[in-house]
A and B are shown apart, each in its own frame.
Chain A
Amino acid sequence: MSINRREFLKIAGISTVAGIGAPWAINEILNRGVEAARVLPGLEALVAKRWAMVIDTRKFRTADDYKRVMDACHRIHNVPDIENPKHEVKWIWTDTFEHAFPGQEHKYMPEDIKHKPFLLLCNHCERPMCVRVCPTKATFKREDGIVMMDMHRCIGCRFCMAACPFGARSFNWRDPRPFIKEENKEFPTRMIGVVEKCTLCYERLAKGLKPACVEESNGGLIFGDLGDPNSEVRKILSSTYTIRRKPELGTEPSVYYIIGGNENV
């Protein structure tokens, strides 16, 4: 059987149309039931152009001030309490000035600031390096600036942990379930082999609540929208001198610090 150029082109054309059209048609038929329904954001959800946080370190004075905030976060998010530092999982934690703001310390700085713990959490960067390296888009930036984790997609490659300059991410080396003292039944846990971090309480924002740490901080943490010039965070940022962690890396962190010792409150 021979075939001339004209016939060949006809068959090729029909095949191309069928090849492109068939998957679309099958998709349409399969998804009919689901597409009839709609999804909406919650009515009472807090929305912003870009969420940000100011940490007023002057307000944190006793060990209990830190513990209350960290416990609130870890409790409601089912963060396991693993003692072994190699397997530890943390969403919000503390470290010294020297470690939190490397390069900013000097030997003549006030003793109380030198030794004071500073609250650290995911910075929800404007240009998050973790998002750039994630091969599955399990971590991604939402439109309101929150750097989210989709645990369903995480394959545990830990590229994001290598990329994050702030150490904000923890890997589940072990099954976290046995290390959770009291499970919050409203929120999932994680499984072995995924990376987790602070999600800026996206589940609370959806219900109109501020993040748990902010609620527990007695004014030490201020939460708001950077895109709104009248928001509380913008007012503080324009009136008070604040610093961010490792700004020289260009990731544009959204967590700002007012640095202060214990006596100058």
Chain B
Amino acid sequence: MYNSRNIIIGLIIFAAFVTFPFYNNFGKAVTKPDPKLDTPEIQKFPENERRCVEPKEFMKAGHMQLLNGWRDSVVRYGNRIYVNDAGKEFEISLQNTCMKCHSNKKKFCDECHNYAAVKPYCWKCHIEPKEKET
């Protein structure tokens, strides 16, 4: 093999570079995300009415599909009322429905999004609720 020395050194550097994130983080425990649902707005509801538009498990796994559907429903089809399985109606709005209860964007949205390294760009346009603590 021509230039074998250079090629092998190059390959080693390349492999070291590519696997850097793996050995750099190996064995390190990253704190689990701990999203909070206890905003004052939610606490105001009586215990048995503290329900999101859909069950918690569904929202955990599928809120992005739900929001995608909501967006198209309002913007493209003009349907602004969402009726869940229990027959309860909600205004479809990220700013005026979701975030009115979940007024703690940092602990509710960012906590998991940062952990999973996803950067949804909702808040470049939608105005996030004002939070007191930093």
Which A residues fall within an 8 A CB radius of B? 30-31, 33-34, 36-43, 45, 78, 140, 142, 148, 150-152, 183, 185-191, 202, 206
**Cα separation A221 to B127 with both chains bound (whole Å):** 30
Q: Nearest CB to that of B76 among chain A residues?
A: A150
Determine whether the beta carbon of B78 is less than 8 Å from that of A40: no
Per-position 1/0 for B54-96, Cβ under 8 A of A: 1000100010011001010101111111111100010010011
A170 to chain B, nearest CB (A): 15
A150 cross-chain contacts in B, Cβ below 8 A: 75-76
Determine whether the beta carbon of B80 is less than 8 Å from that of A42: yes
Interface assignment of B44: CB less than 8 Å from any CB of chain A: no
Interface assignment of B22: CB less than 8 Å from any CB of chain A: no
Determine whether the beta carbon of B78 is less than 8 Å from that of A37: no
Determine whether the beta carbon of B125 is less than 8 Å from that of A37: no
Determine whether the beta carbon of A39 is less than 8 Å from that of B79: yes
Query: Can you list 17 A-B pairs, Cβ within 8 angstroms, ordered by A?
Result: A31-B65, A34-B65, A37-B84, A39-B80, A39-B81, A39-B92, A40-B79, A140-B76, A142-B78, A148-B76, A150-B76, A185-B127, A186-B95, A187-B95, A188-B95, A189-B127, A206-B78
Not counting A78-B127, A187-B95, a sample of 8 additional A-B residue pairs whose C-beta atoms are within 8 angstroms of each other reads: A33-B65, A37-B83, A39-B73, A140-B76, A152-B75, A188-B127, A191-B125, A202-B78
* Given the contacts A189-B127, A191-B124, A37 and B85 also touching, CB distance less than 8 Å: yes
Of B65, B82, B127, most buried by chain A (CB within 10 Å of CB) is: B127
Q: Nearest CB to that of B55 among chain A residues?
A: A33
Interface assignment of B121: CB less than 8 Å from any CB of chain A: yes
Determine whether the beta carbon of B62 is less than 8 Å from that of A34: yes
Partner of A185, one of B54, B73, B95: B95
B91 to chain A, nearest CB (A): 8
B11 to chain A, nearest CB (A): 39
**8 nearest A-B pairs in the assembled complex, by CB-CB distance:** A191-B124, A39-B79, A40-B81, A188-B125, A38-B83, A39-B73, A188-B126, A150-B75
Which B residues fall within an 8 A CB radius of A? 54, 58, 62, 65-66, 69, 71, 73, 75-85, 89, 92, 95-96, 121, 124-127
**Cα separation A142 to B126 with both chains bound (whole Å):** 23
Q: Nearest CB to that of A207 among chain B residues?
A: B80
A42 to chain B, nearest CB (A): 5
A30 cross-chain contacts in B, Cβ below 8 A: 65
A76 to chain B, nearest CB (A): 13
A248 to chain B, nearest CB (A): 32
A94 to chain B, nearest CB (A): 27
A232 to chain B, nearest CB (A): 23
B73 to chain A, nearest CB (A): 5
B82 to chain A, nearest CB (A): 6
A150 to chain B, nearest CB (A): 5
Of A41, A183, A202, most buried by chain B (CB within 10 Å of CB) is: A41
A263 to chain B, nearest CB (A): 43
**Cα separation A152 to B62 with both chains bound (whole Å):** 19
Q: Nearest CB to that of B89 among chain A residues?
A: A40
A73 to chain B, nearest CB (A): 18
